[in-house]
Structure 1
Amino acid sequence: MKIEFAPADVPLPRRLQTAAVLQWVFSFLGLAPCCCLLFFVLLFTRFWLISVLYAIWWFIDWDTPSHGGRRVNFLCDLSVWRHMRDYFPIKLVKTADLDPRHNYVFGFHPHGILVAGAFCNFCTLATGFCRMYPGLTPYLLMLPLWFRAPFFRDYIMFAGLVPSDKDSASYLLQRRGGGNAVVIAVGGAPEALDARPGAYTLLLANKKGFVKLAMEHGAALVPVFSFGENEVFDQVDNPRGTWLRWIQERLQRVMGISLPLFHARGVFQYSFGLMPYRKPIHTVVGKPIMVEKNERPTEEELNALHERYMDKLCELFEEHKSKYGVPEDKHLTFV
């Protein structure tokens, strides 16, 4: 394989963009294990008191992630996130106003490999969410496993991430007066195994928990489709029924996280590596589906709203796909 190296005269802005995305990829893939290792290593050094004091703080602060976390807007507005936005680039597209007097459940599709669009749009201020939707605060749900990693839990809470369990989402949706938007990558980790360029397969047909959550709290449902989310990484072929897919699905059930074998480009060369491609991501936020509060919905009511949500998501995709390079013969597939 011939390696295509990056030119030596890359402009400074592009170098800063690459550095910003490099730290984000490392944070997503390697920072949690490093934080856990640091916590235990410090116990056997003269700095052992740091880990002990943190353990005490951790115990006191245990419930904070499920009670709205600890967003720090200053950190969400650092220039590093604007450099990350410009690397792809990532753009947030508004299609309708959202009344800040209501709470919302955003269904984000597709999950992609590293949910770059969801993070940049809803965990940072780089793409202007708060300007487009004044009075709304977004909270991206993330696997609870990551909130059990010392130090790392605080880092992700600063960005407005909260655990992806019912208690955490319910805490936010119970707020009287509205103003909260819970963002759920509905397909979750299993959907990442289908994330590859040109793929429009969504794990949604039997995913109804987020719909029930919206009904129980009377929160409006908002379909969100992120065009380009699957284009920024390649993935080793793993069709359903193959031994690789069987192993990945088994590990996902055991560990709670999926392990897609993805690749793209490197830092100093464009031929291989774990850095995403520079391909645009357009995250389109659809119109809200108003939901009446129903704490005990019947299966028929749940199915009806779920069908309506899928129809609205398809309409959103079909309406905007031609603007973002999706062929006319491509349609969403639900599994």
Structure 2
Amino acid sequence: MDDSVRKHVLSISVFQWVMTFLLMGTFFTIVLLYLLFTSFWIIPVVYFTFLLIDWDTPVKGGRRVQWVRRWTIWKHFRDYFPIKLVQAAPLSPDRNYVLGCHPHGIFSVSSFCNFATEATGFSEIYPGVRPWLAVLAGVFRLPIYRDYIMSAGTIPVSKDSLQYLLSCCGTGNAVFIVVGGAAESLQSSPGEHSVTLSNRKGFVRLALENGADLVPVYSFGENDLYEQVRFSPDSWGWKLQLLFQKHVGFAPCLFKGTAVFGEASWGLNPFPRPVTSVVGKPIRVPHCPVPSESEVEQYHALYIQGLKELFDEYKVSCGLSASDSLKVI
């Protein structure tokens, strides 16, 4: 394939994902509601009936489709940056795992590529282990889009959904949670190495309740994919972001990427900068159905220590300076 053609193919593969993320749910909601008032009313009626019957599927492990996870377009998506997955230690299919993904970035691009597709070869690197990427629960209420993202192996980041996978589906389940969430996305800027983690302990409690090992994951370069407008703490933009973060679960960001075609200085596509995601060493966690606060604190501290050690071990090989350090907020 000609280099210029290949470049466009890679750009389009990423752009379709960005537009799907931003618009697919809203688009199909509007289309189905519109069809209700046309001669094609039977289509939305049948779908909404199915939706009612199928409402609990996302919290019962979803509906993974390996064919979708192995689409060729995801390989083009991977190569655009490129994104690389690195194993620091093997994961046994005889255990379950709760993995924290850091940092969030704007769209958690690397988490999607590594754990909701097979573009970077997760199943080959970790044979017998099934990855489940936990995302905002609200997106599973959007018609059509919910079915699409379920096919990639995503689940709602809710207590019921996570408990089901870790307690009712045997072993070999790896649940990936972007721990920092909306708060961490507001800190996303090129060259920034900070994670929102000090008061995020629910995932540790979840691991203890189910005897699932904790594993830190750090994606070097995730924060470099977009340039974000940072508001001052007393501005209307900052207050609006905090309002959305508190009541909706995500924070609207003003960001700048690159154009899909041409030489425009801005666009919706992320910058084509390399990202290396390192899956760290598992921290063995005992099964404590009702963990005490001291146990949660103990394993939370061990997790932070493991994340910092992972960052320090791989930072130079991933293009950072030896003097760079990870800030835990």
Structure 2 length-normalised TM: 0.97
Distance 2:55 2:278 in 1: 35
On the 8 A contact 2:131/2:173 being kept in 1, the answer is yes
Determine the C-alpha separation between the residues in 1 that align with 2:169 and 2:65.
22
Aligned match of 1:200: 193
Partner Cα separation in structure 2 for residue 15 and residue 176 of structure 1: 41
Task: Tell me which amino acid in the other structure corresponds to 2:288.
Answer: N
Q: Name the amino acid aligned to 1:282.
A: T
Deviations 1:216-262 (A, max 9, x none): 00000010000010001000022445442222111221222210111
Structure 1 match to 2:254: 261
Structure 1 partner of 2:288: 294
How far is the alpha carbon of 1:328 from its aligned partner? 2.4
- Structure 2: 5+ residue stretches without partners: none
Offset at residue 103 of structure 1 (A): 0.6
Paired AA for residue 51 in structure 2: W
Confirm or deny that 1:133 pairs with 2:122: no
- The C-alpha deviation readout for 1:20-40, integer Å capped at 9, x for no partner, is 101000011111111111111
Deviations 1:276-303 (A, max 9, x none): 0000010000000010000111111110
Give the match for residue 318 of structure 1.
312
Q: CA deviation at 1:177?
A: 4.0
**Which of 175, 182, 198 is the matching residue for 1:189?**
182
Between the aligned residues of both structures, percent identity stands at: 46
Inter-partner Cα distance in structure 2 for 1:181 and 1:105: 6
Q: Give the superposed CA RMSD.
A: 1.2
What is the CA deviation profile of residues 116-151 of structure 1, one whole-angstrom value per residue up to 9, with x for unaligned ones? 100000010110000000001101001111000011
Give the letter aligned to residue 297 of structure 1. P
Structure 2 counterpart SS, 1:30:
helix
| CA displacement 1:30-83 (0-9 Å, x = unmatched) | 111111111111111221111000011001101100000001000110100000
Matched residue SS, 1:82: helix
13, 33, 40: which is aligned to 2:6?
A: 13
Partner residue of 1:277? 271
Question: Is 1:36 aligned to 2:29, yes or no?
Answer: yes
Displacement of 1:176 after TM fit? Answer: 5.8
Aligned pair 1:164/2:167, yes or no? no
Matched residue type, 1:304: Q
Instruction: Supply the AA of the counterpart residue of 1:290.
Output: R
Q: What is the aligned partner in structure 1 of residue 135 from structure 2? A: 142
Deviating runs (4+, > 6 A) in structure 1?
A: none
| Number of aligned residues | 327
Distance (whole Å) between structure 2 residues aligned to residue 198 and residue 60 of structure 1: 47
The one-letter code matched in structure 1 to 2:135 is M
- AA matched with 1:55: F
Residue of structure 2 in register with 1:60 after alignment: 53
Q: What amino acid maps onto 1:224 in structure 2?
A: V
Q: Would you say the 8 A contact 2:8–2:260 is kept in 1?
A: no
1:306 to 286, 290, 300: 300
Counterpart residue identity of residue 308, structure 1: L
Tell me whether 1:334 sits opposite 2:320 in the alignment. no
Q: Distance in 2 between matches of 1:129 and 1:185?
A: 17
Separation of aligned partners in 2, 1:178 and 1:144: 24
- After the TM superposition, which residues 69-108 of structure 1 pair with which residues of structure 2 at under 5 Å, given as runs? 69-108=62-101
Alpha-carbon distance in 1 for matches of 2:173, 2:232: 38
What is the Cα deviation at residue 10 of structure 1? 5.6
Q: Structure 1, residues 187-221: CA drift from partner, whole Å, max 9, x if none? A: 01221111110111211000000000000000000
User: What one-letter code is carried by the residue in structure 2 that aligns with 1:330?
Assistant: D
Deviation at 1:100, TM superposition (A): 0.3
SS at match of 1:274: coil
Equivalent-residue separation in structure 2 for 1:140 and 1:49 (angstroms): 34
Q: Secondary structure at the match of 2:86?
A: strand
How far is 1:14 from its partner? Answer: 1.4
CA distance in 2, matches of 1:327, 1:249: 33
